[in-house]
Chains A and B, each alone.
Chain A
Amino acid sequence: MWLMYALLVPTLAVAAYGFYHRIKPWFVGKPLDRLDRPAQRIVRLLKLGLLQQKTIRERYAGFFHQMIFWGFIVLFIATTVVLIDYDFQVPIMRGAFYLYFQSFFVDVLGLLFLVGIALAGWRRWWFRPPALVYTKEASLILALLFVIGATGFLIEGWRIAATNDPWGAWSPVGNVIAKISRPLFSEDALLILHRSFWWLHMGTTFAFLAWAPYTKMAHVLLSPANIYLGNLDPIGGSLKPVDFESSEIFGVNSLAQFTWKDLADLDACTECGRCTASCPANNSGKPLSPRDIILDLQKLSRRGEPQAPLIGATVSLSSESLWNCTTCAACVEACPVSIEQLPKIIDLRRHLVMDQAEFPEMMQDALGSLENRGHPFRGTQATRLDWVGDLDIPEWGEGQTYDVLYWVGCAGALVERNQKTVRATAQLLKTAGVRFAILGRDEKCTGDLARRIGNEFLFETVAKENIERLQSLGVTKVVTSCPHCFNTFANEYPRLGGAFEVQHHSVFLADLVRNGRLKPSRAIEETVTFHDPCYLGRHNGEYDAPRELVQISIGKDPIEMPRSRERSFCCGGGGGLSFVEEPTDQRVSHRRAAEAVESGADTVAVGCPFCMTMLEDAVNAKSGDRPVKVKDVAEILWQAVNQQA
């Protein structure tokens, strides 16, 4: 017995040193407050940690992870109980508790644990999905866990056999082993087997304990910690501001320029690959893998060179990879342990744009136009008022008051196809009797594009101008047609002093219908599927309002694509990518369009001008002979409301 404790001390010391080694690199990071709002954090930990709400989204892996997870916890409790009872001589292993919990329940959970490990091994060695990282470490972890579980059952069985335990039947697995073993071995042999396997069991357990913190198994402690410390705000608000006054370097190109939380993220990674499996850029064959970004940064972090340049250090950190990110946040949403891949990608892009002035030419053109002309559509022949035509819409002048400012957005006003959407929206607002106005020619880009590409300086400049202008006009409520504009107003302007009440047109229109101010008069005979825009859905959690509009307009629920709501697949247009020519065989939009066409719907409904342009081309290319249309939810509603349309 004393020998076991003598071994436990160095084991724990090695493990503790391992953890220390994992945590030490975090301290080079910059400060960030992630201990606020403890109540919300605990709820988050319970949901994502204890209830495993994200791992279970993936059926097979979620299933076996639950088995291993609960098996691990229960076995851990059981071992502690033995420790307290046996070694500290506190008699708690008694009576019903002993039988129901310590014998029966633990036995069943132990079995689930073993089956879970087997299923994990089956996936790793047989199915070999590309999402996983195939290392010797990962294989050895599974093997060790299996040995620990299996030897645990063997010693239990042999104990029952050797002592003729009258309560043996309460441990079903142990009992079966006892029944098989009794005719095979003598009592002495059983004792020897028990004793030697006990040492094997303890030896492997200790070895595992000591080694785990150096491996991805550290996630058993680091992941729950990371979930607790995760971002509580909408994903759309998770980009950090840049301090232009005092920083010498803009963006991030070394570990020390990240915050401590960014560095903690790296160590929480379980290598599960869910992020990369859901990444649209990766899915369409481009060299971007959020998992590899995290794991490569983790390796660099452990190497202990916090000042070494990151960009270009590995394939995943090369600029070719970083410029493929559509900022869709599928990775952030998928990660079961609350790692934030996207803000790190933007941090690195900021460095490329602001410090090295090196980024794709077409993005340079778009930002150049944004700077000179207030919109990114270089060479457009449209003006901001073209869509208005014969509609009588007031422009908000000095000294006037309206209830709502309709923020049309550059993509809404200047791209011909989207002019129909904003026209429909304005007509709906008029029909409902909303007192609204537009800025007309004075409207300027919100700056979203500059921010996602990485030019935070340009973003701040245009954002401040916009805020000042709206405040001087006395605007308090804004409705936008573009989820990107919405996100900027909702999550980014407040930090710069511009707090406006803002709604996406789908939400505002759904309210108007609910209040009876808009009455759909005929159901449209169409089947519709809805494509969630990333900046409305994942970035801001609004999934229902646009679906409600479709439901009201066609009299039935929209058809759901396999990937919808928080798992929706990007159109490929975010993050400045709609301004860049994608290689023909790697178009994100074509993959999404194929999915939309396969849903069988006559119409693909969208809620974003960028989704509209990306998907309309792609749907035309993918729909073959079947006519499939792309329409904004506002257009569909206007069709239902307006008799003549």
Chain B
Amino acid sequence: MNIVVCLKQVLDPEIPARDFKINKERREAERGSANLVTSIFCANALETALQFRDIHGGKITVLTYGTVAAEDVLRKAIALKADDAVLVLNDQSSSPDPLQVASVLAAAIKKIDAVNLILVGRESADWGAGQTGGLVAEILGLPCLAFVDHIDLVDGSLRIRRQTETGRDVYMATPPIVLTITNDDHNLPRVPKTKDVMLSSRKPITKWSLTDLGIEPTPGYLKVAELGIPEKNTMCEFVDGETLDDKVATLARKIADVIQG
């Protein structure tokens, strides 16, 4: 099985909420002191692929579309024993447009030879649109299953388990197929061995530009009109009154005021 796992580098989503700042002008998050990390569902996707390969063998190529800094995400995947790594360089600023990202990823997947299983995180930890997987499948003309937490191989077919609101569905599918991966107790990302971390910096990474993929940089289909951090205000007021009845009446009036705006 030739597996491609798409990875996205995001701003560390675990920094304290108070440290999270936005640049209103550019309509994007400010990096501040935050680190860049692999988006969590992408890490779950890689872990799912690694577990599948541990049992059934195959080859894992990790693929990312990002800036030069995104190489770090690939190095970390190589330390976990991904076989190959491809970086498609994005020299524009980070685009939240899933269709644009999906067309780049799909073109790269076409260029990587004979891929039959494509794993994508359920959604990214920054914009969280959750569309990339589906769009990649659409562009490649492949079927897609979402919210998958486990894959197995039975008689040459994929046995795919996906989470639903009420439980789990199990599907049998014939590759090639695109799966979006969600998290589960069983696909928590593993930690690398030190030797592999040391070796990971020596392994070559394939770098493609958009021209290499024959893609015209498009302006994007989606524009962020406005970006802000929701403000939450809490107020606490004690209701006064002589008697209990008074208090209840005042409280009721206040509630009515709020409801009527």
A residues with a Cβ closer than 8 A to B are: 244, 250, 353-357, 359, 361, 364, 367-369, 372-373, 378-383, 441, 455, 457
Contact = CB atoms under 8 A, between A and B. Distances in A.
Contacts of A382: 16
A457 B194 contact: yes
18 contacts: A244-B194, A244-B198, A354-B195, A355-B194, A355-B195, A357-B193, A364-B191, A369-B14, A372-B37, A373-B12, A373-B14, A373-B15, A373-B35, A381-B16, A382-B16, A383-B19, A455-B194, A457-B194
B16 A383 contact: yes
B236 to A, nearest CB: 21
Contacts of B17: 381
A378 B193 CA distance: 21
Contacts of B16: 380-383
Nearest to B192: A357
Nearest to B16: A381
- Closest 3 pairs (CB-CB, A-B): A354-B194, A381-B16, A457-B194
B40 to A, nearest CB: 11
Contacts, number: 44
Given A250-B195, A372-B35, A357 B14 contact: no
Contacts of A355: 193-195
A354 B37 CA distance: 21
A121 B28 CA distance: 78
Given A354-B193, A373-B14, 7 more contacts: A250-B194, A357-B191, A357-B193, A364-B191, A368-B191, A378-B14, A383-B16
Q: Which of B12, B17, B191, B197 has the most CB of A within 10 A?
A: B191
Nearest to B80: A357
B184 to A, nearest CB: 14
Nearest to B15: A373
Interface residues of B, number: 19
A380 B16 CA distance: 6
B166 interface: no
Contacts of A244: 194, 198
B197 A457 contact: yes
A381 B15 CA distance: 7
A372 B19 contact: no
A253 B128 CA distance: 44
A383 B18 CA distance: 9
A372 B198 contact: no
B25 to A, nearest CB: 24
B140 interface: no
A273 to B, nearest CB: 35
Contacts of B190: 357
A369 to B, nearest CB: 8
B211 interface: no
B188 interface: yes
A382 B15 CA distance: 9
A369 B35 CA distance: 10
A381 B188 contact: no
A381 B18 contact: yes
A156 to B, nearest CB: 66
B188 A361 contact: yes
A356 B188 contact: no
Contacts of B195: 250, 354-355
B33 interface: yes
Contacts of B194: 244, 250, 353-355, 455, 457
Given A383-B19, A441-B33, A356 B12 contact: no
Interface string B193-204: 111011000000
Interface in B149-190: 188, 190
Contact of B193 (A356, A369, A383): A356
Residue from B17, B188, B193 whose CB has the most chain A CB atoms within 10 Å = B193
